[in-house]
Amino acid sequence: MRVLIVEDDLEAAAAMVRGLSESGFEVTHAPDGADGLSKAQGGEFEVYVVDRMLPKLDGLSMVETLRREGDQTPVLFLSALGEINDRVTGLKAGGDDYLVKPYAFAELVARVEALARRRETGSVQTVLKVGDLEMDLIGRRVHRSGTEIDLQPREFQLLEFLMRHAGQSVTRTMLLEKVWEYHFDPQTNVIDVHISRLRSKIDKGFDRPMLQTVRGAGYRLEA
């Protein structure tokens, strides 16, 4: 999958190129908005990762131009501007997601992967597998080592998200936004409670625990 990164901070761009390449993406970098627009118009990409504040042509203008031309490639905006109005402006300009700096790199990768899935064609994935854990998305059933696990609807959503990001650290912010659809932290222990319940169901009685707590980062489901 090809990703275009448009970022004028060369050190940050190099880190993104290196990290996304290690995650299996083919990455192209543009150091300003004008070059980013030219590369986007001349290439085929699954995702654009665009900084808002760019020389020559700002990120919002670049994306607005692409949208007017009919380019519907998913866009992830990066910005130090994190107020609600800033996010809304980015989404209205044609962005599909918005990540505020500084960010955890695992979250950047997860968001790029989520946007890339929107571009995938072919058969729809109906079964998720991580090690001996299997989720049937159609039948809404979960099994581990052949044993059926009874989950409540929210637990099912939580596990589905963790399985789609298996091996990656997922933050509380990611879980709040993608599972609970909160775009703010309500200062509640709802995540901790559901993680605890989910862990007891998918790990208790099995030889190897899968649901890990990553200190200072969040949680990770390991095969």
Final residue in a domain of this structure, among 95, 117, 139: 117
pLDDT of 125 higher than 70: no
Domain span holding position 78: 2-117
Residues 7 and 33 in one domain: yes
Q: Which of 84-88, 149-153, 175-179 has the lowest mean pLDDT?
A: 84-88
Write down the pLDDT at residue 14.
92
Instruction: Work out the mean pLDDT of the chain and round it to a whole number.
Output: 87
pLDDT at position 122, please?
A: 39
Quick: pLDDT tens for 56-75: 999 999 999 988 888 888 99
3-state secondary structure of 218: strand
56 and 85 assigned to the same domain: yes
What per-residue confidence (pLDDT) applies to 121? 46
Q: Residue 155 domain-assigned? A: yes
β-bridge mates for residue 14, sequence order: none
| pLDDT reading at 11 higher than 70 | yes
Task: Indicate whether 173 belongs to any domain.
Answer: yes
Angle at 59 (CA atoms; ends 58, 60), nearest 5 degrees: 95
More confident residue, 26 or 184: 26
* 146 shares a domain with 64: no
Tell me the pLDDT band of 119, cut-offs 50, 70 and 90.
low
* Average pLDDT of span 174-189: 81
Number of domains observed in the structure of the chain: 2
User: Is there a domain that residue 122 lies in?
Assistant: no
**Do 110 and 174 belong to one domain?**
no
147 and 178 housed in the same domain: yes
Q: What gap in Å lies between CA 208 and CA 130, rounded to an integer?
A: 13
Q: Average the pLDDT over each of 171-180, 195-204, 207-216 and give the range with the smallest value.
A: 171-180
Q: What percentage of the chain reaches a pLDDT higher than 70?
A: 96
pLDDT at 82: 66
- Looking at per-residue pLDDT, the higher value among 142 and 169 belongs to 142
State the pLDDT at residue 22: 84
Residues 7 and 111 in one domain: yes
Q: Which residue has the tokens 């946007």?
A: 115
| CATH number of the domain that residue 106 is part of | 3.40.50.2300
208 within domain boundaries: yes
What is the model's pLDDT at position 168?
86
**50 vs 116 pLDDT, higher one:** 50
CATH of the domain at 199: 1.10.10.10
**In a shared domain, residues 113 and 132:** no
In a domain? residue 195 = yes
For the beta carbon of residue 142, count every other beta carbon within 10 angstroms: 22
Both 6 and 75 in one domain: the answer is yes
- Is the same domain home to 179 and 90? no
Asked if the structure places residue 203 within a domain, the reply is yes
User: What are 29-47's pLDDT values in tens digits?
Assistant: 999 999 999 999 887 888 9
Q: Which has the higher per-residue pLDDT, 4 or 111?
A: 4
> What's the confidence (pLDDT) of residue 106?
84
Q: Is 98 in the same domain as 69?
A: yes
Asked whether residue 176 falls in the same domain as residue 100, the answer is: no
Domain stop point among 117, 152, 169 = 117
CB 168 within 8 A of CB 221: no
Signed CA dihedral, 18, 56, 49, 39: sign only: negative
Query: The tokens of 40 are what?
Result: 């986007």
In a domain, 189, yes or no: yes
Domain boundary among 60, 85, 117: 117
109 and 7 in one domain?
yes
